[in-house]
Structure 1
Amino acid sequence: MSGAEKLILVGQIGGAFGVKGEVRITAFTADPMALMAYQPLLKADGTPALTLISARPDKAGVVARVKEITVKEQADALRGQKLFVPRDRLPEPEEDEFYLTDLVGLEARDLDDAVVGTVKSVQNFGASDMLEIAPREGGPTWYLPFTREAAPDLRISEGWLRVVRPTEVDERDEA
């Protein structure tokens, strides 16, 4: 896999389901059964994690029979394992839609169109998506809520987004 290939988080192993080696997978896709089409599911480093043989819908995703797991203990040992697929295996988003990973690498521009940094990552600590911005001049990264107020203009095809920097970040820069 090339280093430039972006991986998209599509699920997480929840542990064993029953005693015959089936595994519960929480799906982060609109259609949980779509996981069957994205084979094999990968680890964060791009190496294969799971190959689903069969799956059926469950309240949080799917319950699957998996090639790599034959007993309950193997499934339990993988609990928490995040599952990814390469970006190019997913369908192209509709117009005015995007995958969060498409934001990584965009220039962050202020209201005067000056480049203030680059989107380093998109995190979610439980409340909402946050953009981690690496400052252009170096130094510690800072976070910005990914809201219309904080990021009012998004131009993925042009490689940038407009940001309204939090007061704390502006004050830190002036110190």
Structure 2
Amino acid sequence: MSQDVFSEGFWDERYGSEDRIWSGNPNPQLVDRVSSLTPGTALEVGCGEGADAVWLARQGWQVTAIDVSQVGLDKAAAHAADAGVDVEWRRVDLDGWPGDAGAYDLVSAQFMYLDQPALTALFRALGDSVAPGGTLLLVGHHPIDERHGDHDFPDVRWTPEEVEEWLGSG
């Protein structure tokens, strides 16, 4: 990819720079949208240090968590071990990842850093990975959200309507 922030090296360096980059708490959007669902199989995409995957496993989900950064995955695995939960950790380059057709009751991807058209392709692969009757949870920055410093990466900002169009076309 053309932007360094999208690379494995960037994320390995970022996760290696401090003991913990993120809070260690699950994203509130995940907790809000998933708490009422019956646990089954879950795919946590871009899992970073593993907070969402660990939370899902604590709720009874059978979790597969993927990320481009092995450093992040190693931290996530340690977090899961400390929490006493089992998660399958996989290093995956999401740019061009084909997905796991119909394999998961829940697919959660929050704040994906991919440029276009890779983001559209990823969201389609994630949609295809949801089992019939399952849930696709995509969370990101809205284009008018000025609280986040992603101005250099406009492709990581999108609207629900854009995602609907991406998933419905092709």
Return the TM-score normalized by structure 1: 0.26
Report which of the two has the higher share of strand: 1
Structure having the higher Rg: 1
Report which of the two has the higher share of helix: 2
Return the TM-score normalized by structure 2: 0.27
